[in-house]
């Protein structure tokens, strides 16, 4: 692991919402951060411009294996202490029988397949003792689903969690800390305007968890307080 003043993070999906606040908070704490975005400009660019070199940007369409491989090549030689994948879409509250096949495929590819593919392709950049983490949700918890609703989104997050379990088994001996993070229900484009949390409240707590868990063995599914979320 790098010394605290030289910690490096790569955050996939940082142009808005939780990802934007995450990279801003990491940079504020002294991390050197590379953030990916599909489109240049906007608030992320403004944060990068004001970061005194702490925050750099890279273009990426996360659903493209070719672009992920190209990003890995561009960053070759760097050793990342934290690889964090933040990406999700929500296509509304349809019962599963009413979900069009194309919508099902889009949500599953974005929320489950692509984050794990990103980890597989980019993990060679992660330093020994580093952390790989993915933004999940308690909505992916099967045992906590007592109210129903948002069936496709819930299923995609459950699939993400299951794939991360398989990833952790396959790479059990690589020395990386592995985390699934539930940030709570936040007021973002995905979470909606009536959500109880602001990202500026929840994300500093998430970063506390990431920093506290550095070096921990195995895979954990944790909330923003560092408490285990039931599978």
Beta bridge partners of 221: 180
**Do the domain assignments include residue 181?**
yes
Distance (Å) of CA 154 to CA 62, 75, 96, 110, 129: 21, 33, 11, 13, 31
- Domain containing 178 equals 4-223
Residues 6 or more apart from 173 whose CB is under 8 A from it?
A: none
User: pLDDT, tens digit, for every residue of 9-67?
Assistant: 999 999 999 999 999 999 999 999 999 999 888 999 999 999 999 999 999 999 999 99
Beta sheet of 32-37, edge-to-edge order:
55-59, 32-37, 8-12, 80-85, 126-135, 177-182, 219-223
Q: What is the tally of structural domains in the chain?
A: 1
In a domain, 231, yes or no: no
What pLDDT score was predicted for residue 1?
52
In a domain, 86, yes or no: yes
For the whole model, what pTM was predicted? 0.94
The answer to whether 61 and 36 have CB atoms below 8 angstroms apart is: no
Q: Is residue 127 within 8 Å of 176, Cβ to Cβ? A: no
Asked if residue 152 is part of any domain, the answer here is: yes
The pLDDT averaged over each successive group of 10 residues in the chain (231 residues) is 75 95 96 94 93 96 97 96 95 95 98 98 97 97 94 97 98 97 84 82 97 97 98 96
Q: Please choose, from the candidates 151, 111, 153, the residue with its C-alpha nearest in 3D space to the C-alpha of residue 134.
A: 111
- Does 230 fall in a domain? no
Q: What is the CATH number of the domain that holds 126?
A: 3.40.50.720
What are the residues facing 220 on neighbouring strands?
179
């Amino acid at each position: 692991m790098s010394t605290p003043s030289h910690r490096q993070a790569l955050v996939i999906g940082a142009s808005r919402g939780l990802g934007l606040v995450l990279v801003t908070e990491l940079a504020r704490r002294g991390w050197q951060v590379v953030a990916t975005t599909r489109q240049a400009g906007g608030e992320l660019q403004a944060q990068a411009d004001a970061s005194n070199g702490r925050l750099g940007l890279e273009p990426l369409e996360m659903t493209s294996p070719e672009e992920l491989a190209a990003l890995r090549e561009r960053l070759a030689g760097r050793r990342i202490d934290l690889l964090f994948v933040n990406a999700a879409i929500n296509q509304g509250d349809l019962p599963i029988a009413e979900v069009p096949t194309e919508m099902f495929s889009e949500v599953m590819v974005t929320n489950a397949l692509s984050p794990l593919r990103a980890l597989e392709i980019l993990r060679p950049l992660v330093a020994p003792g580093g952390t790989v983490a993915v933004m999940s949700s308690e909505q992916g918890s099967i045992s906590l689903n007592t109210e129903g609703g948002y069936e496709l989104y819930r299923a995609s997050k459950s699939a993400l969690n299951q794939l991360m379990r398989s990833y952790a088994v396959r790479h059990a001996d690589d020395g990386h800390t592995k985390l699934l993070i539930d940030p709570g229900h936040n007021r973002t484009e995905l979470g909606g305007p009536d959500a109880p949390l602001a990202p500026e409240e929840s994300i500093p707590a998430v970063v506390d968890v990431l920093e506290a868990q550095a070096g921990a063995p195995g895979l954990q599914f944790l909330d923003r307080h560092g408490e285990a979320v039931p599978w």
